[in-house]
Amino acid sequence: MVHFTMDNDQNLEKNSIVLYTSDEGAATVEVLLKDETMWLTQKTMAQLDELLERIREIRASERRFYQKITDIYAQCSYD
């Protein structure tokens, strides 16, 4: 799971730029908050899409790994 926290805990003004950083400090997302709407640049949206795709790949790999382990245990139970 990717969790982002705000870099500052100030009260948000109506139009403000906020930086969100992952707990590990590996990812930072800059967003513009305007009238309760979050705005991202095209570059930031592309980076976010790449990050989400990588996370999907990792999760799929984990599912395949756990399925293999389950299959091994199932085979062992027949022996």
Residue ranges per structural domain of the chain: 14-76
Spatial distance between the Cα atoms of 66 and 25, rounded to a whole number of angstroms: 29
Q: For residue 7, what pLDDT is reported?
A: 47
Q: Retrieve residue 40's tokens.
A: 């991202």
For the ranges 37-41, 54-58, 74-78, which has the lowest average pLDDT? 37-41
Angstrom distances, CA of residue 64 to CA of 19, 41, 45, 59, 74:
35, 35, 29, 9, 15
20-49 pLDDT per residue, tens: 666 666 666 677 777 777 777 888 888 888
Q: Retrieve residue 56's tokens.
A: 């999907």
Contact 32, 15 (CB under 8 A): yes
Which whole number is the average pLDDT over 1-16? 48
pTM of the entire predicted model: 0.53
